[in-house]
Amino acid sequence: MSSNAQSPVSCDVKELALAEAGKRRIEWAFQSMPVLQTIRKQFIKTQPLAGVRIAACLPVTTETANLLATLRDGGASPVLCASNSLFTQDDVAASLVRDYIIPVFAIKGETSEQYSAHIGSAIDSKPQITMDDGCDLVSVLHAKRQDALEEVIGGTGEASNGAGRLRTMSKEGALRYPVIAINDATSTRLFDSRYGAGQTAIDSIIRATNFLIAGMNVVVAGYGWCGRGVAARAHGMGANVIVTEIDPIKALEALMDGFRVMSMPDAAAAGDLFITVTGNKAVIAKEHFERLKSGAILANAGHFNVEIDLECLARMATTRRLVREFVEEYALRDGRRIYVLAEGRLVSLSAAEGHPASVLDMSLANQALSVEHLVKNHSSLEKRVYAVPEELDRKVARMKLEAMSVKIDRPTPDQEHYLASGPEGT
Ligand SMILES: NC(=O)c1ccc[n+]([C@@H]2O[C@H](COP(=O)([O-])OP(=O)(O)OC[C@H]3O[C@@H](n4cnc5c(N)ncnc54)[C@H](O)[C@@H]3O)[C@@H](O)[C@H]2O)c1
């Protein structure tokens, strides 16, 4: 049930009365977002987005709220709908409407019909810029709402799986305007995935179980951008980390980083806690369930809930029960008990709050600067997917360092000349 009476703008949010709590949380997050704070100050002065209509389909969180406030302060008229019906924070949606006068169409737990209708409402604002997460807004625009395509000059895409869909559209010649893939920026990917995903995976598992990580055998499946972070954080808390991989280079890297590397069948017999973060399916499956120790805990930190073959585990179980919030016990026929966290869904967002604001600061700064870049340069851009321009990527990292009062060296003119002319010496 939504209550939008007395709304200052058109919206569909759960309850405007939740706004006060949302406002406090948005302001709390903003304190940890110094790069976005700096951009907001600059935008207020220079108004680079004056009159630009923006439709954003993003997680409705405190950090997104601060991004939209920054765009609005830069002169834009943003409208927000959710990029996943489960990740909307209703108090934030309410505050954006009541306190920031930004139209929002998002309710946590909305049906798929509501989800589609909300994307439709965002498109009704006739955007000139789109900001997407998993590519749902862009897909609807291209497939069903071509009437609204005419005025779009560019877009940004946040998530890596969304960028994949955009690249497919681009390859097929279907993309009708230039899009910048935010997740590819080093200042986003390196920090979001390694430090954000690394910390939140461990944080969410501790919140769900209240277990001591020190001394545990923690198996991390996948040693990519996120897996490196998860393994490092688990090690930092005193776990004996075992890495499983299918890529020999990544496996070697894990080995030389000091971790034990094993096949999953071997790791299955040794592990106490398993964290999948591969982007692949059935990484822990029947042959592995058969070897797990009783009491083993299985968690997934990858995007989709397919990394642990839970249908198979359910077939192997005689009974299942929730033993505490987010912890489900599977009692197997041979007497072993296996524990699955958050139904195998992305544990960081299910059992905790997702990435901390200070790491999202950089991705959302890349978003804001990319929107400015698109507004300035759209006429010279092709209808394809672009990376975040390198100078913006570096600018974001520099701004973050400045906010942390960290100074780095600049090369002297002589050093620049030496590097440019091809280093030599004996
Ligand atoms: N938890 C979070 O907060 C968070 C944040 C960003 C992304 N993600 C998600 O995490 C997943 C991984 O993202 P990434 O950026 O690290 O990807 P990545 O491609 O950098 O790394 C994935 C790694 O998994 C390995 N892998 C694939 N199949 C495997 C298997 N069967 N067994 C062992 N290893 C296997 C690959 O070789 C690769 O090294 C994706 O689903 C992504 O959407 C989660």
Q: Which atom of ligand 1 lies nearest, measured to the CA of 161? A: 43
Q: Which of 257, 264, 278, 280 is the best mutation target for the ligand 1 pocket, counting ligand atoms within 8 Å of the beta carbon and taking the most?
A: 278
Segment 146-176, tens digit of pLDDT: 999 999 999 999 866 677 788 888 899 999 9
Residues with CB under 6 A from ligand 1: 160-161, 193, 196-197, 200-201, 221-227, 244-247, 250, 277-280, 283, 301-303, 346, 348
Segment 299-333, tens digit of pLDDT: 999 988 999 999 999 999 999 999 999 999 999 99
Cβ-in-10-Å burial (0-12, 13-18, 19+) of 396 comes to buried
Nearest CA to ligand 1 atom 38: 224
Instruction: Please provide the average confidence, as pLDDT, over all residues in the chain.
Output: 94
Q: What is the mean pLDDT of residues 223-251?
A: 97
To which H or E segment does residue 218 belong?
strand 217-221
Asked if 156 and 49 touch (Cβ cutoff 8 Å), the reply is: no
Nearest CA to ligand 1 atom 25: 222
Rounded to the nearest whole angstrom, what is the distance from the C-alpha of residue 279 to the centroid of ligand 1? Answer: 4
Residue with the two structure tokens 């340069």: 377
Residue with the two structure tokens 């409402």: 121
Query: Which residue, 70, 139, 57, is CA-closest to 106?
Result: 57
| Torsion angle of C-alpha atoms 384, 388, 392, 395, degrees rounded to 10 | 180
pTM for this predicted structure: 0.87
Nearest CA to ligand 1 atom 40: 279
3-class SS of residue 90: helix
Query: Which residue, 75, 182, 153, is CA-closest to 374?
Result: 153
Question: Which pair of structure tokens corresponds to residue 257?
Answer: 């980083």
Query: Which residue, 87, 100, 117, 127, is CA-closest to 16?
Result: 100
Rounded to the nearest whole angstrom, what is the distance from the C-alpha of residue 227 to the centroid of ligand 1? Answer: 7
Rounded distance between C-alpha atoms, residue 273 and residue 339, angstroms = 9
Chain-centroid distance, C-alpha 252: 27
Rounded distance between C-alpha atoms, residue 192 and residue 115, angstroms = 26
Nearest CA to ligand 1 atom 32: 245
Rounded to the nearest whole angstrom, what is the distance from the C-alpha of residue 287 to the centroid of ligand 1? Answer: 21
Q: Which atom of ligand 1 lies nearest, measured to the CA of 283? A: 31
Segment 81-121, tens digit of pLDDT: 999 877 799 999 999 999 999 999 999 989 999 999 999 99
Segment 27-46, tens digit of pLDDT: 999 999 999 999 999 999 99
* Residues contacting 226, CB < 8 A, separation 6+: 193, 194, 197, 198, 201, 277, 301, 302
Segment 340-392, tens digit of pLDDT: 999 999 999 889 888 899 999 999 999 999 999 999 999 999 999 999 999 99
Nearest CA to ligand 1 atom 27: 278
Q: Which atom of ligand 1 lies nearest, measured to the CA of 225? A: 16
